């Protein structure tokens, strides 16, 4: 076998030229950067569609399907949100952004707010005894609509007496659709015309209630004892009573209150006693007149038993003094028993003035 020695590797040297210099590479990089700069900026008008601007059409208050057709035809994208307005039609466009007439680029996204097809539910608040202004603000915050305002004679002027929906009284907490119309009954103060207080003693509770409410008066019942049938229980007393102490009729105005006392089986005597004339309505709480006190007799001033007086003996008169006729002494009233000695401090007559 013959052995071969390895041949040495020969490296050929390339001649140095301009392409191998550092400055050549720098110039190439600068040229590429300048070329890319001009290419990018020259194509921006194409990429951004510079100069291709359109006006946003107005689609507010239009149905959703027609609004979508109009915007898509103009080359816009659409983003939809929803809200509820009781005074607008279902699925109508409530708002749009950008506003109608604004100049934007093509393919711009238009944001629409559409009215809901079904109103959301809300709970009826308690408006009774609130002022009319407060009740209106609460209805608005619950997205409920204020309907009719019914003025009714009542002592609570300006306060809400009842809340109604569809002609009926509605309880607080009842679920309603947003946009429902709520009617309010508001107090208008007492009426201007006075009338006789109705006599409801002896009537059933239902009869007396109907009579009082028919005259525009409010009923305040007071039930005496347990009652199985309240409507047929008997009214045995009322305040104010039908008659006053002068025998005339007590008077009331619309919107005022009458207390009635009700129980199962009152006696006839009890009802007749309560029907008797009572003090007038305005004088029931007047202070009673002061009762005059009897005068205290004055103490006797004599310390000794009083006896019948003797006629005075005339004194001898001298010649120089004229004689006048003697006056008889007034006899004092005799007492049946001799009084005990009284101190001088008590014996002084009472000179103070006493008022009756």
Three-class secondary structure of residue 116 per DSSP: coil
Average pLDDT, the chain: 77
CA distance 220 to 257: 7
CA distance 219 to 144: 31
Residue 6 domain flag: no
Count how many domains the chain has: 3
pLDDT one-digit tens code per residue, 122-133? 999 999 999 999
pTM of the model: 0.44
Residue 43 domain flag: no
Domain shared by 148 and 111, yes or no: no
* Inter-CA distances, 276 with 97, 175, 282, 288, Å: 78, 51, 17, 20
Higher pLDDT, 186 or 87: 186
**Nearest alpha-carbon partner for 91 in 70, 61, 120:** 61
User: In which domain, by residue range, is 139 found?
Assistant: 121-187
Domain shared by 200 and 183, yes or no: no
**Nearest alpha-carbon partner for 197 in 212, 180, 209:** 212
The pLDDT value recorded for residue 346 is: 44
On the question of pLDDT at 340 being above 50, the answer is no
Residue 303 domain flag: no
Residue 147 domain flag: yes
Peptide bond preceding 240: is omega within 30 degrees of 0, i.e. cis?
yes
pLDDT one-digit tens code per residue, 81-123? 998 888 889 999 999 999 998 888 878 899 999 999 888 899 9
Domain shared by 220 and 161, yes or no: no
The pLDDT value recorded for residue 289 is: 52
Name the H helices within 48-166: 64-73, 132-141
Query: H/E element holding 80?
Result: strand 77-83
Residue ending a domain, among 187, 209, 231, is 187
Residue 39's pLDDT band, with cuts at 50, 70 and 90, is confident
Phi, psi of 350 (to 5 degrees): -85, 105
Residue ending a domain, among 187, 217, 245, is 187
Higher pLDDT, 258 or 304: 258
Residue 84 domain flag: yes
CATH number at residue 132: 3.30.10.20
pLDDT one-digit tens code per residue, 46-75? 666 555 678 899 999 999 999 999 998 888
pLDDT > 90: what percent of the chain? 35
């Amino acid at each position: 076998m013959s052995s071969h020695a390895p041949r040495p590797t020969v490296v050929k040297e390339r001649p140095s030229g301009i392409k191998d210099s550092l400055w050549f590479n720098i110039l190439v990089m600068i040229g590429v950067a300048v070329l890319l700069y001009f290419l990018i900026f020259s194509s921006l008008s194409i990429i951004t569609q510079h100069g291709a601007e359109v006006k946003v059409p107005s689609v507010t208050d239009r149905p959703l399907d027609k609004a979508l057709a109009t915007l898509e035809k103009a080359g816009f994208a659409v983003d939809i949100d929803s809200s509820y307005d009781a005074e607008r039609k279902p699925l109508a466009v409530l708002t749009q952004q950008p506003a109608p007439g604004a100049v934007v680029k093509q393919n711009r996204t238009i944001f629409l707010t559409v009215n809901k097809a079904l109103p959301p539910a809300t709970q009826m608040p308690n408006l009774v005894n609130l002022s009319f202004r407060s009740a209106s603000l609460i209805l608005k915050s619950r997205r409920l609509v204020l309907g009719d305002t019914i003025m009714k004679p009542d002592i609570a002027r300006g306060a809400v007496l009842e809340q109604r929906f569809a002609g009926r009284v509605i309880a607080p907490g009842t679920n309603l659709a947003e946009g429902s119309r709520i009617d309010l009954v508001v107090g208008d103060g007492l009426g201007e015309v006075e009338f006789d207080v109705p006599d409801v003693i002896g009537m059933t509770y239902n009869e007396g209630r109907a009579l009082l409410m028919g005259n525009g008066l409010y009923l305040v019942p007071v039930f005496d004892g347990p009652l199985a049938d309240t409507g047929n229980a008997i009214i045995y007393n009322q305040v104010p009573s039908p008659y006053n102490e002068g025998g005339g009729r007590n008077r009331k105005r619309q919107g005022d209150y009458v207390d009635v006392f009700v129980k199962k089986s009152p006696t006839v005597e009890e009802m007749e006693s309560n029907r008797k004339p009572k003090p007038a309505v305005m004088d029931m709480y007047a202070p009673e007149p002061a009762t005059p006190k009897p005068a205290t007799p004055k103490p006797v001033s004599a310390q000794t038993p009083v006896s019948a007086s003797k006629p005075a003996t005339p004194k001898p008169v001298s010649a120089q003094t004229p004689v006048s006729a003697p006056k008889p002494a007034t006899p004092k009233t005799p007492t049946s028993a001799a009084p005990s000695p009284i101190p001088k401090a008590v014996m002084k007559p009472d000179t103070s003035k006493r008022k009756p």
